Copies of this chain bind each other. A is one copy, B any other.
């Protein structure tokens, strides 16, 4: 045991606790026929919780973790602390980037050796632990070599470096029995159109994603390939702007049946959408995969990556997840960072515990809304006219015949109330 979480004991489920405990999340509670743990599939993000030093654009490191530094020993200490937290929180999953877990080497080969060694170290730890890998991913945005993109870099050598990197990360994810592999294109975009060949960059990105899918099949990785949309920050514009944009991209490269979405609330907001919108859209397009359940501040125009804290919002999100059929390989990742003034080990535990509780509350509310059925019944009733054979026949016909019918029958459609406030009241009976 390291000293970092000294004095903090494993969190238990205790609805009346005012201390570090779960007041709502009981992993063993059965809802809709399954344990809460299996529904929610919580994951801790290695980067924000263990690798991020607390900087922002106007300030440097605020966290002073004993494992900060670029050596293998420190990387192992970091892994030890991480698994201690996973145990305290009893989380079933975690996620990493290559750069979170291994020290950067002086060459690709050295970085790879470091990475493979740490993967083995993690694998050994996982053997004796409950926590599994939800997904792995490659950090292709922090190092200066990626400043102009990874797959979309003007320099083909960076494409090559990126391909080799993703291969290594997919291999490691496969080895650790990860449930998914994620791609996030923080530098796949542009700062100015003046120096950008958008068509070419988009093509290279499309080819890169095809290669990732081809490689998945080659190695027999059974997890899902996920893309995480985000509109901007760090780039002025990123190609994986939002679910709708990625969908068009997948269609163009024949990947709509191969790739799913990892949707983050904060990124939805940056793109001008509600989280529910992105979830409902992905579901209706058949590409829903997993979620990053971290919110943005509504008054800030950048990615604040805060732990969720608003039950009604979370409930509406899980309501869409349930309508989409729930998670299969996906789960609820917290791509969330402590506020940089939250310095203590206790803050790290409390933040995750509070988030897990909010998710549990929200999920149970969403289940209740689903099981009650009023909302869905009212929604279906609104469209009942479209279930008639006349309506179906009209859809199969053409403008001329429809126009003829309009002319001959003299229809005058009467608006019906959309009942938005009543529906919102119904939601509030459950949250």
Contact = CB atoms under 8 A, between A and B. Distances in A.
A83 to B, nearest CB: 21
Given A144-B415, A167-B399, A241-B244, 4 more contacts: A57-B57, A61-B144, A194-B379, A197-B380
Contacts of A431: 311
Contacts of A405: 160
Nearest to A239: B244
Contacts of A202: 284
Nearest to A406: B164
17 contacts: A57-B303, A59-B142, A147-B340, A147-B418, A156-B386, A161-B411, A163-B402, A192-B423, A194-B420, A204-B395, A236-B297, A307-B421, A310-B313, A311-B312, A350-B425, A354-B421, A354-B422
Contacts of A411: 108, 157, 160-161
A10 interface: no
A303 B353 CA distance: 33
A358 B168 contact: no
Given A214-B398, A419-B342, A425-B353, A272 B232 contact: yes
Contacts of A350: 421-422, 425
Main SS at interface, chain A: helix
Contacts of A163: 399, 402-403, 406
Given A244-B241, A386-B156, A390-B156, A298 B269 contact: yes
Contact of A418 (B142, B195, B215): B195
Interface stretch (A37-45, A85-93, A273-281): A273-281
B272 A231 contact: yes
A12 interface: no
Interface in A397-420: 398-400, 402-403, 405-407, 410-420
Interface string A294-317: 000111111100010111110010
4 smallest CB-CB distances across A and B, nearest first, come from: A301-B301, A248-B248, A341-B418, A199-B284
B155 A399 contact: no
Nearest to A372: B18
Nearest to A247: B248
Contact of A211 (B271, B340, B385, B398): B398
A177 interface: no
Contacts of A200: 383, 386
Given A300-B232, A339-B421, A144 B62 contact: yes
A251 B347 CA distance: 39
A382 B413 contact: no
A390 to B, nearest CB: 7
Interface centre among A197, A214, A357, A410 (most CB of B within 10 A): A197
Given A191-B420, A195-B423, A354-B428, A407 B164 contact: yes
Contact of A234 (B59, B194, B197, B351): B59
A198 B281 CA distance: 7
A144 B60 contact: yes
Given A59-B144, A142-B58, A339 B191 contact: yes
A137 to B, nearest CB: 13
Given A342-B417, A386-B154, A421-B338, A160 B191 contact: no
Nearest to A274: B299
A6 interface: no
A378 B197 CA distance: 11
A428 B194 contact: no
